[in-house]
Amino acid sequence: MNQQYLTSAIKQFEYYKQLGEKTINQLSPQQLFWQYNAESNSIATIIKHLSGNMQSRWTDVFTSDGEKEWRNRDAEFENDSSTTQIQILQLWEKGWHCLFKALNSITEADYNKLIYIRNQGHTITEAVNRQLAHYPYHIGQIVFIGKMLCNEKWISLSIPKGNSTSYNAEKFSKEKSKTHFTDEYINPNKKTSSE
């Protein structure tokens, strides 16, 4: 575990947060609550689950188990018709804030500490990797649902269909440089080391 890894992981979390937000911004408030069928989750439900997980895992990360007694995981998957778009978006921000606050507070002195999740000890790297796999899994679900709902009005979040050749040509026309792949998405105006 080192600071370079942690910085890279934080950038990737920011990138996936942004993918979720770019999807949510293409949808109406009602579409956040749409379900394909009774067994599937709406975007609102996925957000409730992500927020619940983030708050549970990253609150008092070194001093209490990541599965908090106050968390009601099953309730995260219940459809609540009284929940509003504003409440869902507040949960979204609350979860991400908790994650980033915890990750940004980790220092070199913490690197040898264990993080427990349901009594299973994790190094910081293992705990971050676990969530770096978990959260994008659900962000992918949000994007997939959003794409279905928008259909032909969907604004691509990556290289649009048919544009791979021109995208690659633009990339290979530049000098090689050491940058994080998320920089062009999160900080599009940031200068690279080669500019």
Digits of tens for pLDDT over the chain (195 positions)?
688 999 999 999 999 999 999 999 999 999 999 999 999 999 999 999 999 999 999 999 999 999 999 999 999 998 877 789 999 999 999 999 999 999 999 999 999 999 999 999 999 999 999 999 999 999 999 999 999 999 999 999 988 888 899 888 888 998 888 887 787 776 655 443 333
Alpha-carbon gap, residue 10 to 85, rounded angstroms:
26
Number of CB atoms found within 10 A of residue 113's CB: 13
List the domains of the chain with CATH numbers.
3-155 (1.20.120.450), 158-195 (no CATH)
The answer to whether the CB of 19 falls within 8 A of the CB of 156 is no
Instruction: Report the pLDDT value the prediction gives residue 162, as an integer from 0 to 100.
Output: 87
The answer to whether the CB of 95 falls within 8 A of the CB of 50 is yes
Could you tell me which residues are beta bridge partners of residue 116? 121
Instruction: Report the pLDDT value the prediction gives residue 92, as an integer from 0 to 100.
Output: 98
Alpha-carbon gap, residue 37 to 91, rounded angstroms:
24
- Picking from 25, 58, 32, 36, the residue whose alpha carbon sits closest to that of residue 46 is 32
- Three-class DSSP category at 50: helix
Residue 166 has which token pair?
Answer: 């021109």
Number of CB atoms found within 10 A of residue 141's CB: 18
Instruction: Report the pLDDT value the prediction gives residue 194, as an integer from 0 to 100.
Output: 31
Instruction: Report the pLDDT value the prediction gives residue 193, as an integer from 0 to 100.
Output: 34
User: What pTM was computed for the model?
Assistant: 0.89
What's at 89, amino acid-wise? Answer: L
Alpha-carbon gap, residue 13 to 8, rounded angstroms:
9
Instruction: Report the pLDDT value the prediction gives residue 82, as an integer from 0 to 100.
Output: 79
Instruction: Report the pLDDT value the prediction gives residue 188, as an integer from 0 to 100.
Output: 56
Instruction: Report the pLDDT value the prediction gives residue 191, as an integer from 0 to 100.
Output: 42
- Picking from 100, 127, 98, the residue whose alpha carbon sits closest to that of residue 111 is 127
Quote the longest CA-to-CA distance of the chain.
Answer: 54
